[in-house]
Structure 1
Amino acid sequence: MILPRWNLLHILQFSTLFWYCSSIRFPYYSPDAYPDSERDFSLCRMPWRSLVCDPNEILSEEGLLQLDRSTKFILNKTKCPCASYDSPMGYCTKETGYSISIAVLDSIYVESSELVIKERLERIFPEALRRKQSRGQCDDDILIVLAVKNRIVATSVGSVARRKLNYEIVDKVTELAKFRYFDDGDYARGLNLMVEIFGKVLAGENYLEVLPSKVERLYFYKLKNLFPSWPIWLTFLVLVGIPAIVVLIVLITALIISLRKYLRITRYGYQSGNPDEPTDELTETSLTSSLNSS
């Protein structure tokens, strides 16, 4: 059957419109509009189904693939945590364990009529998107959201996953990733650090060894705020070098004063006063010499 010409034109127009709409990159997203990386993975810049999505092209291709490997490694390494008393939320249907999804976007959509503070936005968007994607088996999934223009790095943790990955750990790891990588714009490495530490926690491994040492904490939490654009070695060089230089100047000054005092005593036989004014000892010697000559 041959379709009329005007029908073919309409089909072509609708096909072009559909292709354009499917390839558009929004400057901001709401939880409902954000693409699903397990279904619309091409919109997330992934070549296959993944737990990582970056529709605004913020991360490099290498960074995306590394995050994809890290999240899948944790999914296959850990075991399903669903217990019998978690049956109202679901039960284990797969051999895989915890799923950590990552949503990267330029900014989060907020209606102009809403007065949403940043803290509320950090809580609402990740929670709504995690529940929409529903990638856990019994509310055991985790979602990390990075909104660059909103300067938000937030994590939503399901109630079952929260038994191991509590909010205190999440906050510490997020703060560490911010100071190490996010503040310098290295988003891929910051997200990968969070995924790796979360994976250690969920697998029951020792994650404290990954956290920074006391010296590193001093730098990242205190000193870096004072010198945000300086490397760590330069910061410590300045903080140690300036006091050392001051002490050296004081010692050199004291040495010069002592040497001058010593030279004055040796040359003129006095300790203070004008070099042209002899001491009492010199005056007495002169008088004795005068009497003897007389």
Structure 2
Amino acid sequence: MWTVFLLIACVAMTTSEVRGQLPGRSKYNVKTFPDPIDRYQACGRPFPSFVCDPTNILSEVAANLLDDDLKKIYNETTVPCYSSGPRASRRRGYIVMVAMVPEMDRLHTVNNPNYTINVRYHEAQFFSYYLGNQLKWGKHSSQCNEMVIIFYSQQDGVLYTSTQSTARRLLTDDVVRTVNMDAMPMYYPFTRNKGNLADAITYIARRYGDVLREEVNPAQQQK
């Protein structure tokens, strides 16, 4: 099961923050968004990755550094997963993925004539939920519910975090809200300086990693 937290900022991004966008789609929905394991090149990555950025909104250097941070979270955390019996089968690690699109291609709110901030919220909610279910990373986490998706839609001005239930025991909605609100004064608007968007998402991912490295009392997992 997923819960969602949304931080929305109305952002008018400029091309100065985009590194030569790849040709192809300008809009994505969950059906057209590529898998960063099976179709990593379509994600703008040279190898299977925790980052999927099909139109290269981030610079290659920024995407690589972010991917390194997300790999560290996976390798340096342990997921308490109670699959059966009184003991937990523990395996690493928490999967934090970054998914970026230039704009959402509306699927779930297409019948709503007004594309308000609340409608964008719901579209991002559906996008993240179904994306987490269909990607290989999501299927990997299906038994332990340890996945987190940081989703960003450039033209929609949506920065959104979606968490599965096990990750949410540490990465609560209050924690997510605090981390995102801490990031905004430092990096928003993202167009103020080149690299602000990358710095903001990297900051958020690292803060999430710090939280996910904490241990959860096993008794909490049995509730």
Which range, TM-score by smaller chain?
0.7 to 0.9
Distance 1:104 1:35 in 2: 11
- For the residue of structure 2 that corresponds to 1:43, the secondary structure is helix
Find out whether 1:28 has 2:38 as its counterpart: no
Unaligned stretches of 5+ residues in structure 1: 1-22, 206-294
Aligned length in residues: 179
**What is the TM-score when the length of structure 1 is the normalising length?**
0.56
Greater C-alpha Rg:
1
Q: 1:154/1:86 Cα in 2 relative to 1: closer, same or farther (>3 Å)?
A: farther
C-alpha offsets along residues 234-270 of structure 1, whole Å, 9 cap, x if unaligned? xxxxxxxxxxxxxxxxxxxxxxxxxxxxxxxxxxxxx
Offset of residue 114 of structure 1: 2.1
CA-atom RMSD, angstroms? Answer: 2.4
Seen in structure 2, the aligned counterparts of structure 1 residues 182 and 55 have a Cα distance that, compared at 3 Å, is: farther
Q: Secondary structure at the match of 2:63?
A: helix
**Kept in 2: contact 1:81–1:97 (CA 8 A):** no
Task: Report the counterpart of residue 41 of structure 1 in structure 2.
Answer: 40
Identity of aligned residues (%): 26
Q: Which structure shows the bigger proportion of residues in strand conformation?
A: 2
* 1:191 matches 2:187: no
1:179 Cα deviation from its structure 2 partner:
3.0
Equivalent residue of 2:93, what SS?
coil
What CA distance in whole angstroms lies between the structure 2 residues aligned with 1:155 and 1:165? Answer: 10
Contact 2:121–2:158 (8 Å) recurs in 1: no
User: 5+ unaligned residues in a row in structure 2: which ranges?
Assistant: 1-21, 216-223
The answer as to 2:75 corresponding to 1:76 is: yes
Corresponding position: 1:157 with 2:153: no
Does residue 201 (structure 1) correspond to residue 198 (structure 2)? The answer is no
Q: Larger relative contact order (C-alpha < 8 A, sep ≥ 6)?
A: 2
Task: Give the superposition deviation at 1:99.
Answer: 0.7
- Matched-pair contact (CA < 8 Å) for 2:23–2:55: no
**1:169 counterpart residue number:** 175
Cα gap change, 1:113/1:30 in structure 2, threshold over 3 Å: closer, same or farther? closer
CA displacement at 1:118 relative to structure 2: 2.2
Q: Cα deviation per residue 1:38-70 (whole Å; 9 max; x = unaligned)?
A: 111111111111110111111001100001100
